[in-house]
Amino acid sequence: MPTPPLLALRGVCKRYGVVEVLTDIELEIYAGQVVALLGDNGAGKSTLVNVISGVAPADKGTIEWEGRAVPIKRPHDARDLGIATVYQDLALCGNLDVVGNLFLGREIRRFGFLDEVEMERRTRHLLERLTKGVPDLRVPTVSLSSGQRQTVAIARSLLCDPRVLLLDEPTAALGFEQTREVLDLVDQLRDRGLGVLLISHNMGDVKALADRAAVLRLGRNNGFFDVNTASQEQIISSVTGATENVPHRMASHESRW
């Protein structure tokens, strides 16, 4: 039997009120692979991230971790499994400083009190790996630039050595140099055996980095591609709906990987 995927979604549905935002979603993330999740605005990509990270649990369907069905009902569950997320809106507390945000919910303590020195040391260490221009660690994050905030959010996701990383447009606010640094980092993480789900609108990045691509359209799967063999046109036409994909074929597609 082949090794099961690190994380798999089987027939996941999510509705907000009467609107079904996600319908019968299938997705597999293997260790040491980068899966690009593509789709137009409003396709349901961020909603899918929220489902996996426990922010908005699925209504139907199962999530499997290394082949076993696991309940992900709240953010805590996902974190305990080793799933870390960079949300599209970053989900930082603007009034807390960089160190406070990185360690929120898992502060290091010393004699029962916060160990600011140790937390600051680790924060600096982590950020230096990510970027050359480390921001002031003690200013509230509202007063950082969008790019700096994004870097902080990425650093936070790496803090506890996750096994699956969900990146929702992690380079949207980043400059040229910064984007390259983050993509290099994702590359390194893949080599270290992490499974990465990368949401991006930049086909160039997807082509350069991803192993596979899954396309969402109007809340449904609309094709899976091997990025190395599929052409860019093929993928884009699937995203825009030029090739309205047959949902039935998709399941067999998925199993062939």
Partner 1 sequence: MRRTADNARAHPTEPTEPDTEAPQPSRGQVFARAVARGVDRQVAVARRKLSAGELGSLPVVLVLAAVWITFQSLNQSFLSPRNLSNLSVDVAGTGLIAVGIVFVLLIGELDLSVGSISGLAAAVFAVLNVNNGVPEWLAALIGVLTGTAAGTIQGFSFAKTRVPAFVVTLAGLLTWNGFMLYILGASGTVNLDEHGLVARLTSYYFTNDAVAYGLAAIAAAMVFLVCYQDRRRRKAVGMPYRSLRGIVTRTGVLAVIAFTGAYLLNRFQGLPLALLIFLAVVAGLDIVLRRTHYGRQIYALGGSVEAARRASLSVTGVQTAVLAISGTMAAIGGLFLASRITSVSQSSGSGVLLLNAIAAAVIGGTSLFGGRGTTWSAALGMLIIQSIASGMALTDTPAAVQFVITGGVLFAAVVIDSLSRRSQKAHGRA
Ligand X SMILES: Nc1ncnc2c1ncn2[C@@H]1O[C@H](COP(=O)(O)OP(=O)(O)OP(=O)(O)O)[C@@H](O)[C@H]1O
The correct pick among 13, 31, 70, 91 for binding partner 1 (CB under 8 A) is: 91
Distance, in Å, from the CA atom of 168 to the CA atom of 85, rounded to the nearest integer, reads 8
The correct pick among 6, 8, 21, 167 for binding ligand X (CB under 6 A) is: 21
Helix%, strand%, coil% for the chain, nearest 5? 35, 25, 35
* Segment interacting with partner 1 (CB under 8 A) among 2-10, 28-36, 96-104, 237-245: 96-104
Q: Kindly state the smallest distance separating residue 138's Cβ from partner 1, in Å.
A: 5
The correct pick among 42, 69, 109, 188 for binding partner 1 (CB under 8 A) is: 109
In the window 83-142, what residues touch ligand X (CB under 6 A)?
88
Secondary structure E strands in the chain: 7-16, 19-29, 34-38, 60-65, 68-70, 83-86, 109-110, 113-114, 164-168, 195-199, 212-217, 220-226
Q: Which does 181 bind (CB under 5 to 8 A by kind): ligand X, Mg ion, partner 1, none?
A: none
Does 202 sit near Mg ion (CB under 5 A)? no
Does 136 sit near partner 1 (CB under 8 A)? yes
Does 157 sit near partner 1 (CB under 8 A)? no
How does DSSP classify residue 130? H
Distance, in Å, from the CA atom of 204 to the CA atom of 89, rounded to the nearest integer, reads 23
Q: Which is nearer to partner 1, 23 or 157 (by Cβ)?
A: 157
Distance, in Å, from the CA atom of 127 to the CA atom of 60, rounded to the nearest integer, reads 38
In the window 64-93, what residues touch ligand X (CB under 6 A)?
88
The correct pick among 11, 95, 242, 257 for binding partner 1 (CB under 8 A) is: 95
Distance, in Å, from the CA atom of 126 to the CA atom of 24, rounded to the nearest integer, reads 38
Q: Which is nearer to Mg ion, 102 or 149 (by Cβ)?
A: 149
Token pair 């369907």 in the structure block, residue: 61
Distance, in Å, from the CA atom of 124 to the CA atom of 158, rounded to the nearest integer, reads 13
What element of type H or E holds 185?
helix 176-191
Distance, in Å, from the CA atom of 208 to the CA atom of 197, rounded to the nearest integer, reads 14
Q: Which is nearer to Mg ion, 98 or 166 (by Cβ)?
A: 166
The correct pick among 6, 8, 34, 46 for binding ligand X (CB under 6 A) is: 46
Q: Which is nearer to partner 1, 82 or 140 (by Cβ)?
A: 140
Q: Which parts of this chain interact with ligand X (CB under 6 A)?
A: 16, 21, 39, 41-47, 88
